[in-house]
Structure 1
Amino acid sequence: MAERPHALAGLKIVEVADDIGGEFTSLLLSRLGAEVVKLEPPEGSPTRQVGPFAAGRADADSSLNFWCYNSNKKSVTADLGSAEGMAALKDLLADADILVSTLQPRALKALGLELDGLTQTYPRLIVLSVTPFGLTGPWADYKSSDLVALAAGGPLISCGYDDHAIPPIRPGGNQGYHSAASFAQIGAMLALLDRQKTGRGQLLDVSMHEACAVNVELANPYWFYPRINVHRQTCRHAQPSPTQPALFQCADGRYVYFALILSEPKAWNALVRWMETKDMAVHLTEPAFSDIAYRQAHFQEVQELVECFFLVQDSHDAYRDGQAAGLPVGVLNAPEDLFADEHLQARGFFQEVEHEGVGKVVYPGPIYRFSSFEEVPRTAAPRLGEHTAEVLGAAVKTIEEVRA
């Protein structure tokens, strides 16, 4: 059987990024098989200084955060503030398909770099700018972070607890940066399709602020149409009015998520039958509870019985039995619980990657699973300047030579 290609095999990307938004954009493309050359300043990207660090070594080559977002890349060092560094960038762009940049307008002006000009110099180049607030507008040079983006863009107000005396809670996982990167990847693919038709690249301006502003779930439609604000709820979608709690504690102390929907007859009947198998349906089988309005009027009564029902079960038993009954029940996992998740194990989601001097490190596995393309194996994030000589030529000093 002939070897299947990678989806973006042959595509070259140059990354000039100092935050997770740009790094994750390039990572998504590298996981499709594109070659990504990460151009860093001689001291390294600021993200190399973000902990936690492998084996407690707080140095540029030990950041687990950096490893996560920069696997499958090559690291080249050059000072863009120097003539040599700018020449190195232009050399890289000569045969590149995409430039991923997080440089904001003030930084671009200081470097004498015009992104529009690059598309003129390199007609086939797609210049993908991923910045906090975009390349234009009064906030174009403002600094940001994942928390600032979620707050300014709107999602944060919907995240938190029923008790509104507690401020909104930032969700984990760098969701602001990831939202921008996801839109950037989609934009890059559209620009590549357009280049197939026209033969020309273009400048694509992606704003993390705007990506977050359209990623607020129910808040936008509720405000745009009936002019109603939604309110945050504990582990539930933000809504104009409070909805019933959906977390239930089990006998082992863990919680399951179960959206108790009283208005849907099929779900209600499935729940009652499930409760009957453990002799805990009590009076929910009475004819009166077949009426939706009656169930809703006696919601608190139903809620208490369901709470007792889950309290006598192990969380994983409740999860499996609930799913077998056709009900949307899920166990609340902490991140570390995922390593033992039988489904992720069966799909081979986690992969071990060898890191020099550290040994094997566990990474999240395939982002994409194509039937027509070969899976791209995950490789270790590069050491600072590891590929400078390889990519730019032997005349350029590697970071190891500089350190020596």
Structure 2
Amino acid sequence: MAPHALAGLKVVEIANDVGGEFTGLLLAQQGAEVVKLEPPEGSPTRRVGPFAKGREAPDTSLNFWFYNSNKKSVAADLTAPGGRAALTRLLADADILVTTLQPAALTAAGLDLAALCEAHPKLIVLSVTPFGLTGPWADYKSSDLVALAAGGPLNSCGYDDHSIPPIRPGGNQAYHSAASFAQIGVMLALLERQKTGRGQLLDVSMHEACAVNVELANPYWFYPRVHVHRQTCRHAQPSPTQSALFRCADGRYVYFALILSEPKAWKALVDWMDAKGMAVQLTDPAFSDVAYRQQHFHEVQELVECFFLIQDSHEAYHDGQAAGLPIGVLNAPEDLFDDEHLQARGFFVDVEHEGVGKVAYPGPIYRFSSFGEVARTAAPKLGEHTERVLGDAARIPEEVAP
């Protein structure tokens, strides 16, 4: 089997938020060597909880562990001569620099990204910032919630009851969107470098990543000039659509898209309900007509609600899938550890952490048939690799040592 997909590539990461750290993680999980350059006090993300065993310290943040596994840590103060010397040393043989520093912070650190490109012609300099490197908002502060709000997705997330404000979806989606676009951009830059031998400066804005990640809102506004409205657990639409959540006998919900206009799906649903003695009038020939079904939708909805109430959620899920219908169980995050499908695929992997023991992590994002799997390793302790990576240079300037 061939080496890892990005084996041989060296990445230097200067990231103080999840967007840059997740970008580095995506590259590390494909086999790139990712060296995280941190200030002597550590990245700000080391202070984000929750913390292992409730003990707050630079090396116990579970948030940091996830986003920085498979990386090396070098501690250096970029505002001091020794720190800038350390960066120069790291960039000498680097392929990619990932940075989340905004223009003012770059100036304060004495960094000029364009000048770095000139000094290191093969280097791909990737900037992942809240609002990009230019424009009136370039130095504005942001967060995942601010980015979702300013970029548009937040307005489509929430409940049917519009007296309730929009609800932020979980999972750092704004940061992850930016990181995904950043990774794609890096792949394109690497392909271009293969042809020309030169790197380039790549400017990724989280604001812009969110602005093109609003699903149906953009096309509905660009063309018919109508607004979409948020709905509970379904796509935002110009007009309300029927609920797709159904409560089951065990108190859990399933998501089932009840599509009246598709003959095959309709027949599958009626046959399934009839097999359990719950189809009632839906077997009447009149219901074979789409217009009739739509006129009597309230009857259909009520029967389907009763149908799911007599079933266990997982029973309904498996039987519905066997019938070829789009249905799924609503899992809580903690339910995934017992998910039979994820278990069968070996999705969760155990990573050993000193003083804590084995910790379950999500497995590889990519599964290549032609590349070896990259083993998940624990996030580095602050400055753990300073001397190993920088060698003798680590002992010369005091600012480099953690």
TM class by shorter chain equals over 0.9
Q: Distance in 2 between matches of 1:301 and 1:103?
A: 58
Which residue of the partner structure matches residue 57 of structure 1? 55
Q: 2:270, 2:285 → 1: CA distance? A: 12
Quick one: distance in 1 between partners of 2:394 and 2:82?
10
Partner residue, 1:42: 40
Q: How many residues align?
A: 400
Query: Which residue pairs with 1:379 in the alignment?
Result: 377
C-alpha contact (below 8 Å) 2:13/2:34 kept by paired residues: yes
In the alignment, the residues of structure 2 paired with residue 112 and residue 354 of structure 1 have an alpha-carbon distance, to the nearest angstrom, of 38
| 2:75–2:401 contact (8 Å) kept in structure 1 | no
For residues 329 and 127 of structure 2, the distance between their equivalents in structure 1, rounded to whole angstroms, comes to 39
Q: Is this contact kept in 1: 2:40–2:75, CA < 8 A? A: yes
Task: Name the counterpart of 1:181.
Answer: 179
Residue type at the aligned position of 2:323: A
The CA distance in 1 between the partners of 2:53 and 2:394, in whole Å, is 31
Q: How far is the alpha carbon of 1:395 from its aligned partner? A: 5.2
Distance 2:312 2:153 in 1: 34
What CA deviation, in whole Å up to 9, does each residue of 1:162-207 have, x standing for no partner? 0000000000000000000000000000000000000000000000
Structure 1 partner of 2:98: 100
Once residues 137 and 217 of structure 2 are traced to their aligned partners in structure 1, the CA distance between those partners, rounded to angstroms, is 23
Give the match for residue 129 of structure 2.
131
Give the match for residue 161 of structure 1. Answer: 159
**Unpaired runs of 5+ in structure 1?**
none
In 2: Cα distance, 1:297 partner to 1:60 partner: 62
| 1:110 equivalent in structure 2 | 108
- Identical pairs, percent: 81
Q: Deviations over 1:301-322 (max 9, x none)?
A: 1000000000000000000000
In the aligned structure 2, how far is the partner of 1:49 from the partner of 1:298? 56
Quote the Cα distance in structure 2 between the aligned partners of 1:395 and 1:367: 36
Cα deviation, 1:63-84, whole Å, max 9, x if unaligned, reads 0000010000000000000000
Q: How does 1:291-310 map to 2 (within 5 A)?
A: 291-310=289-308
The CA distance in 2 between the partners of 1:48 and 1:199, in whole Å, is: 37
Report what 2:197 is aligned to: 199
CA contact (8 A) 2:383 2:401 kept: no
Deviations 1:239-270 (A, max 9, x none): 00000000000000000000100011110000
Say whether residues 1:274 and 2:272 are aligned partners: yes
Deviation at residue 4 of structure 1 after TM alignment:
2.4
Question: Residue 394 of structure 2 aligns to a residue in which SS?
Answer: coil
Q: Distance in 1 between matches of 2:75 and 2:388?
A: 12
Q: Which deviations, in whole Å up to 9, do the C-alpha atoms of 1:289-308 show, x marking residues without a partner? A: 00101100111110000000
Alignment correspondent of 2:147: 149
Runs of at least 4 residues off by over 2 Å: 394-399
**Shift of the alpha carbon at 1:361?**
0.4
Match of 2:321 in 1: 323
Determine the C-alpha separation between the residues in 1 that align with 2:241 and 2:375: 44
Name the structure 2 match of 1:392: 390
> Paired residue for 2:256?
258
User: How far, CA to CA, are the matches of 2:292 and 2:333 in structure 1?
Assistant: 40
> CA-to-partner distance for each residue in 1:116-161, whole Å, 9 max, x for gaps?
0000000000000000000000000000000000000000000000
Equivalent position amino acid for 1:18 in 2: N
5+ residue gaps, structure 2, are none
The aligned counterpart of 1:356 is 354
2:109, 2:86 → 1: CA distance? 14
| DSSP-derived class of the 1:43 partner | coil
* CA displacement, residues 181-239 of structure 1 (integer Å, 9 cap, x when unaligned): 00000000000000000000000000000000000000000000000000000000000
Say which SS state the counterpart of residue 15 (structure 1) adopts: strand
Structure 2: which amino acid aligns with 1:335?
P
C-alpha distance in 2 between matches for 1:111 and 1:33: 29
Equivalent residue, structure 2, for 1:290: 288
TM-score under structure 2 length normalisation: 0.98
Which residue, out of 322, 333, 336, partners 1:335? 333
Q: Which residue, 21, 24, 27 being the options, matches 1:26?
A: 24
Q: How big is each residue's C-alpha offset from its partner over 1:72-101, in whole Å with a ceiling of 9 and x where there is no partner?
A: 000000000000000000110000000000
Instruction: Check if 1:66 corresponds to 2:73.
Output: no
CA contact (8 A) 2:394 2:401 kept: no
Q: Which structure carries more relative contact order (alpha carbon 8 Å, separation 6+)?
A: 2
Map of 2:73 onto structure 1:
75
Match of 2:89 in 1: 91
- Distance of 2:309 and 2:335 partners within structure 1: 21
**1:393 aligns to what SS in structure 2?**
helix
1:402 Cα offset (Å): 6.8
| Distance of aligned partners of 1:395 and 1:201 in 2 relative to their CA distance in 1, 3 Å threshold | closer
**Mapped contact 2:193–2:199 kept (Cα < 8 A):** yes
C-alpha distance in 2 between matches for 1:247 and 1:202: 48
2:12 corresponds in structure 1 to 14
What's the TM-score, normalizing by structure 1? 0.98
**Range with bigger deviation, 104-113 or 18-27:** 104-113
